[in-house]
Structure 1
Amino acid sequence: MKKLLKFCLFIIAIYLFLYINNHWIITTEHIYESEKVPESFDGFRITQVSDLHDALFGDNQAKLVKKVAATNPDVIFITGDVIDSNRYNLEQSLQAVREFVKISDVYYVIGNHEVATNKVEEIYEALSAIGVHVMPNTSMILEREGESIAILGIEDPLNGYETQSMLGTALAGVDREDLTVLLAHRPEKFNTYVANNINLVFSGHAHGGQIRLPFVGGLIAPGQGFLPKYTAGTFEDGETTMNVSRGLGNSTVPFRIFNLPQLVVVELKSK
């Protein structure tokens, strides 16, 4: 009887561990300080939502929406894979996004899973219809008190185009004196972002390495293989700072281990 009780307690413990690892959303905050941040954008808050993959966080995504609202964002960036190509359910994914647009302006780029569905235009149209700024290899200028920053977005290279080509298109017409802020799904393209002197990058895709090992980091990531470099946190090279979100959901591998779902917040500071 004692052995059976211990076994049952072990199963319950494993269930709780896996449940928490997949549903307990944490918020990580960073400060980005630069001379290129205009004074009118000092304190400007960006909340990044990445790799939702149709995951559910409460009824009608209430837990996720509450967490995002609590970050007090000036803008929300969605950096790809809001849907999952293995269980495509656009309506479920839109539940959260419909609430996001009530909180602040929302900017969006696709990930590899959107491309894999072959329904990119359907996704773009649905998001545009609810007020999301869709960013397919393009840029938008945000202005405050006569000062500006440039928001850029590029699509995922699974669409058949080189990252450099898409980034060049997005940069066309951008004043390089402005702070450049890029939404790009793939962190493994960091060297391309650096080569183009992008100031601030928001990326995801790696799911934090899916399983995170103490003192080591992520175990595996698409496009990077085992013990990948870019799975979470901040990376700097030259003029470029890249923030990589661990994301929220899962795809082929159903569990996250020592890798809680994550929202990333970056607050701009002027020097």
Structure 2
Amino acid sequence: MKKLAKLIVLIVVVYIFLQVNNKWLVVTEHVYESERVPASFDGYRITQVTDLHDAIFGKGQERLIEKVRATNPDAIFITGDLIDSNRYHLENSLDAVRGFVEIADVYYVLGNHEVATRKMQEIYTVLTELGVQVLPNSAVMLERSGEQIIIAGIEDPLMGYTTQEMLNEALINTPEDLLTLLLSHRPERFDTYVDNAIDVVFTGHAHGGQIRLPFIGGLVAPGQGYFPKYTAGTYESEETTMVVGRGLGNSIVPYRIFNLPEIVTVELKEL
């Protein structure tokens, strides 16, 4: 009887642990300082949401929406895998987007799961109707007090183009002297972002390595394999800073371990 009681307690503890690891939302804050940040954009706050994979955080995504609202963003970047191709349920994710567009300007690029569904145009259309700025290998110029920055986005390589080809298309008419913020799903393309001297790149895809080991980091990530290099936080090389969000949901592997669902904020600061 004692063994059965211990087994039940163990099962309950494991269940609670797994639920906490999947549902406890955290916010990670970063500051990007550069001489290329215009004075009028000093203090501009970006909140990144990535890899939702149709996960649910409260009724109508209420917990997620309120957590994002509390970050006080000037813009919200969604960097792909808003849905999951294995259990496509767009409405779950649209609940979150409806809340986001009431908070700040929302920008979006797709990830590999959107491409896998073959419903890219449907997703683009409904997001555009909600007021989201969709960036399919394109860029927009944002202006404040006569000063500008560029917000650009590229699609996923599953669309059949290389990262370089998509960057060429997205940045073809953008001035090189302006600060450029890029939304892209894949962190493993870091070298290409560096080669193109992109100032700040927002990525996801790695799910934080799914299982995070103390003193080691993520265990495995798509496109990078075991003990991946780019799973969470910021990475710098030459003129480029890459931000990798751990994401919110899961896909094939149903649980995160020591890897809480994450919302990321980046505040621009004039140096």
How many angstroms does 1:92 deviate by?
1.3
1:267 matched residue in structure 2? 267
CA distance in 2, matches of 1:92, 1:131: 17
Aligned mates of 1:246, 1:31 — CA distance in 2? 17
Runs of 4+ that moved beyond 6 A? none
1:46-65 to structure 2, matched below 5 A, reads 46-65=46-65
Superposition pairs for residues 180-219 of structure 1, below 5 Å?
A: 180-219=180-219
1:235 is paired with a residue whose SS is strand
CA distance in structure 1 between the aligned counterparts of 2:25 and 2:192, rounded to whole angstroms: 31
Q: Which runs of 5+ in 2 are unaligned?
A: none
CA distance in 2, matches of 1:100, 1:245: 17
Amino acid across the alignment from 1:233: G
Which residue of structure 2 aligns with residue 103 of structure 1? 103
1:225 matched residue in structure 2: 225
Who is 1:31 aligned against?
31
Q: How does 1:62-81 map to 2 (within 5 A)?
A: 62-81=62-81
Partners of 1:190 and 1:168 lie apart in 2 by: 16
Displacement of 1:2: 2.1
Determine if the alignment matches structure 1 residue 244 to structure 2 residue 244: yes
Q: Which runs of 5+ in 1 are unaligned?
A: none
Distance in 2 (CA, whole Å) between partners of 1:60 and 1:257 is: 25
1:4 CA displacement: 1.8
Distance 2:37 2:86 in 1: 40
Q: Who is 1:159 aligned against?
A: 159
Structure 2 counterpart of 1:82: 82
Secondary structure at 1:32 match in 2: strand
Q: Within 1, Cα distance between the matches of 2:3 and 2:226?
A: 38
What TM-score, normalized to structure 1? 0.99
Aligned partner of 2:65: which letter? V
Instruction: Count residues in correspondence.
Output: 271
Instruction: Report how far residue 122 of structure 1 moved.
Output: 0.3
TM-score, structure 2 normalization? 0.99
Deviation at 1:7, TM superposition (A): 1.2
SS of the equivalent of 1:257 reads coil
Q: Map Cα deviations across residues 195-254 of structure 1 (whole Å, 9 max, x no partner).
A: 000000000000000000000000000100000000001000000000000000000000
The one-letter code matched in structure 2 to 1:173 is N
Q: Distance in 1 between matches of 2:45 and 2:190?
A: 23
Shift of 1:125: 0.2
